[in-house]
Amino acid sequence: MTEARYDLAVIGGGSGGLSVAAAAARFGQKVVLFEKAEMGGECLNSGCVPSKALLAAAKQAQTMREAQRFGIAAVEPRIDFAAVMAHVRRAIAAIAPHDSAERFEALGVRVVRGSARFLDKRRLEAAGQEFSARRVVIATGSRPAVPPIPGLPDVPHFTNENLFLNEVLPAHLLVIGGGPVGLEMAQAHRRLGSRVTVIEAAVPLPRDDPELSEVVLRKLSSEGVEIMAGATVAQVACRDGQIYLELDDGRNLTGSHLLVAAGRRPNVEGLDLDKAGVAFTAAGITVDKGLRSTNRRVYAVGDVAGGRFTHEAGYQAGIVIRNALFGLPARASAVIPHVTYTDPELAQAGLTEAEARARHGAAVSVLRWPFAENDRARTEACTDGLIKIVTGRRGLILGAGIAGPGAGDLIQPWLLALDRGLGIGAMLGPVLPYPTRGEAGKRAALEYFAGLASNPRVRSVIRIVNKLRP
């Protein structure tokens, strides 16, 4: 078997793997990329892109229902679900060329379509050929976690991997899991005409500030999404084309379709990591702060290394390039935001209020500004939500959370503040255009100094200054 030699081998053609491969090729490295499924990975084909396209279609339907807010007759939209899914496929197709094998081959990357596995610490096998590389990056991503519920393996169900292949609107969609994916798809299907019930064993949106997540949950409930928190599915069955769920408290649910959105598991199987001396656990490949595994020649990025988001994988790719190509001591240390793309959106970065109080105690201050007090939100008759900022000693910004329209965009200046270690006063300097929702952030920042107006010492200084001035 002939051995092909490369500077860098990348296993996985998702966001992180493609970013590493493209950067390395541009720097003149000889790169081989292995991908056994679709180029672009889960994000393009069954995650971020199709889910946001479906949400966009659902939002248009809801806008028609709520037009009376603006003096326009509301109408119940006529949903052609197959056409909606055609829109989803068009969105994928429009982005796919950027992630295609043809584009990467044009960059100088050799793309091998097939599974790769380690033969030893430096050699790989794929598509019946051996490969050796000075450095290897594992970017195999993750897959939906299917909980060990009795009966579930024998019952037809969706995960994000096959949900977007469906072209029949579910009459009653049952969703196991109240995290971002479960709630996004619950709202999308409800707005497109399905009855929807979400079953969550613990608390919906558990990683977010409860004050902010409540805004989202309240909106979904108002639209008719039934959310059952603290409920565990004990048994699943399918009879006469219907899905039956038995809960641990004895309650029973019946639906037409089932979506399982209960987390993710890293894709480490089939890589023969033990032959390469690469340690891993149920959480993924063990890496240091530079994303290097226990084999000094092997790195891992994205979900397989404990990441959770596409943007996180892209960031980690930059860390690996600096380490593997330039030998720079780069370390993953950035604040990684997350956004739930429901309507309203929920964006979070840095520490939540509870996390900040646990770490910093009495030094924590919490600043809020509701969108009900924002002029742009009022003009658009969409005032639900708020911005919430958590600060520490001397106004150091520790975290930011936003629940409201466009929260994923509005969080961005706060990411810069967190990244640069800025204090709350820095957010008062820029002059913001009026009217924008961004002004809510500045008003929240101003709340930090609101007490100064009634502070006796400050008033004394003003009196002294006025007496001394001519």
Query: Using one digit for the tens of pLDDT, what is the confidence trace for 288-302?
Result: 999 999 999 999 999
Q: What gap in Å lies between CA 94 and CA 98, rounded to an integer?
A: 9
What order of strands is seen across the sheet that includes strand 252-255? 233-239, 242-247, 252-255
Answer whether 90's CB lies under 8 Å from 97's CB: no
Contact 252, 246 (CB under 8 A): yes
Superfamily holding 3-39+100-144+265-326: FAD/NAD(P)-binding domain (3.50.50.60)
Both tokens assigned to 172 = 């009653």
CATH architecture of 152-262: 3-Layer(bba) Sandwich (3.50)
Q: pTM for the full model?
A: 0.94
pLDDT tens readout for residues 402-429: 999 999 999 999 999 999 999 999 999 9
Residue 79 CB partners (closer than 8 Å, separation 6+): 61, 169, 192, 193
Residue ranges per structural domain of the chain: 3-39+100-144+265-326, 152-262, 344-450
Q: Which CATH superfamily is domain 344-450 in?
A: FAD/NAD-linked reductase, C-terminal dimerisation domain (3.30.390.30)
- Of 12, 6, 5, the closest CA to residue 316 belongs to 12
Note the pLDDT of residue 440: 96
pLDDT value for 454: 63
How far is the C-alpha of 320 from the C-alpha of 329, rounded, in Å? 10
Same-fold call for 3-39+100-144+265-326 versus 152-262 = yes
Which tokens sit at 463? 């009196």
Task: Extract the residue ranges of the chain whose pLDDT is less than 50.
Answer: none
The tokens for 306 are: 């404990």
